[in-house]
Amino acid sequence: MLWSWMVWGLVACGAADKDTGAGADSAADCAETVGALSGEVVEEVDVGVFEPMSGATVMVAQGGGGVIETLTDDEGRFRLSLEAGEYILSAANGDETCFTSEPQTVTIAACGTSEVTLEMDLWAGR
């Protein structure tokens, strides 16, 4: 499963026309089974120096389910409302350089917010 996720992530490089989902539902919209995933995508521009990556595609998958995609905002941030459960997420920059992040597993709690940072790497996982 992880290998197919990585292959899918690499195929996503160069893709266009993603929905921008950097906005999010407020806590007032929380339902019993819904939580939030919030985070940022960064790239290392010098040893130990990271900068936000705007316009990166964040891909979120749940076992046996589909893939949800969103784009980071101008500050490299994203936020999604998701059903409580365990997800695998990764990011790609979508251009010819094909920066990707290592997949991460995150657990979303009902009415909670999980915060993640995805670090981009040229051809991560290769």
Q: What is the pLDDT of residues 16-47, one digit of tens each?
A: 333 334 444 445 555 578 999 999 999 988 88
Mean pLDDT of 48-66: 90
pLDDT for the residue numbered 31: 55
> For residue range 83-123, what is the model confidence (pLDDT) as tens digits?
999 999 999 987 766 788 899 999 999 999 999 999 997 65
For residue 13, the enclosing domain spans 2-122
Count of the separate structural domains present in the chain:
1
pLDDT at residue 11 tops 50 = no
CATH number of the domain where residue 74 is located = 2.60.40.10
69 confidence band (pLDDT: 50, 70, 90): very high
Give Cα separations from 29 to 64, 82, 84, 112, 113 (angstroms): 26, 12, 14, 12, 13
Query: How many CB atoms are closer than 10 A to CB 66?
Result: 8
